[in-house]
């Protein structure tokens, strides 16, 4: 691309060269060809006035300084003599592996295993009962449980239980001893009567004396003849005892 200053200089020069060439062409043609004039016409003098036409430069918006030195024209010989600089060879691009090897990841330390809970020891099985060879195990008797309950009641009945007296027949009062009546003896005797499972009195003894042997003996003899109801535990009659006060009063 040419410099704007060079273009501005070349345009008027080209115009001048074109005009000069045209003038020389006309003069040469005038000398070579004879001028024919019609008869009867006066010869007129041909005058050619050439006016230089000044070419108007294009308005490119740039101001040209006439004092600015022209750029030096590069010397073709120098350009030819200057050795050509070879373009640097492209560096070979390393080829990337199609399948790059995966980068090894650091192995995480193994987690500590949770402590195992101790397993409770199984309860020992009950030892099997010895069974003689050739003998079949005895079948459970459905009445065995009832009999065992009865045995427990009987064992409890071995020690008589205390209870309130329940009369099978109304008790007969003791006979007042005549000698004690003559002597004016009075008092109260506390008797204990032992009763078996049939309700019969099996024994009578004085717990608290009246202070008079005659009265104590009379109370014991009366108690042995009384009849009471037997005591029962779970519906089973058992031995028992009762405590009965016997009073002797003179009227």
pLDDT in tens, 8-60: 666 667 777 887 777 767 766 654 444 444 444 444 444 444 444 444 444 43
What mean pLDDT is reported for the chain?
Answer: 70
Mean pLDDT of 196-203: 91
* Rounded-to-integer distance, Cα 145 and Cα 143, Å: 5
Length of the chain: 251
* Contacts (Cβ under 8 Å, ≥6 apart) of 156: 233, 238
Residue-level pLDDT at 39? 44
Residue-level pLDDT at 161? 87
CATH 3.10.100.10 fits 160-248, yes or no: no
* Rounded-to-integer distance, Cα 142 and Cα 41, Å: 183
How does residue 67 score in pLDDT terms, banded at 50, 70 and 90?
low
* CATH 3.30.2420.10 in the chain, residue ranges: 160-248
Q: Which of 58-62, 97-101, 109-113, 234-238 has the highest mean pLDDT?
A: 234-238
**193: exposed, middle or buried (C-beta count within 10 Å: 0-12, 13-18, 19+)?**
buried
Rg of the Cα trace of the chain? 83
At 215, list the tokens.
């009265």
Is 208 a residue whose pLDDT tops 70?
A: yes
């Amino acid at each position: 691309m040419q410099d704007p200053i060079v273009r501005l200089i070349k345009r008027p020069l080209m115009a001048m060269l074109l005009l000069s060439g045209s003038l020389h062409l006309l003069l040469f043609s005038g000398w070579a060809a004879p001028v024919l004039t019609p008869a009867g016409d006066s010869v007129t003098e041909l005058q050619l006035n050439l006016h230089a036409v000044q070419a108007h430069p294009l308005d490119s918006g740039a101001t040209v300084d006439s004092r600015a030195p022209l750029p030096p024209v590069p010397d073709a010989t120098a350009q030819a003599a200057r050795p050509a600089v070879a373009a640097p060879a492209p560096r070979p691009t390393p080829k990337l592996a199609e399948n790059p090897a995966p980068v090894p990841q650091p192995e995480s330390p193994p987690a500590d295993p949770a402590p195992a809970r101790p397993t409770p020891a199984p309860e020992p099985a009950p030892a099997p009962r010895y069974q003689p060879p050739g003998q079949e195990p005895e079948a459970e008797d459905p009445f065995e449980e009832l009999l065992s309950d009865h045995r427990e009641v009987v064992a409890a009945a071995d020690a008589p239980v205390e209870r309130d007296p329940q009369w099978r027949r109304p008790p007969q009062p003791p006979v007042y001893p005549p000698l004690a009546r003559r002597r004016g003896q009075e008092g109260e005797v506390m008797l204990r009567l032992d009763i078996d499972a049939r309700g019969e009195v099996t024994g009578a003894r004085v717990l608290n004396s009246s202070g008079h042997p005659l009265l104590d003996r009379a109370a014991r003899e009366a108690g042995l003849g009384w009849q009471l109801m037997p005591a029962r535990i779970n519906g089973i009659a058992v031995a028992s005892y009762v405590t009965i006060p016997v009073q002797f009063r003179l009227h």
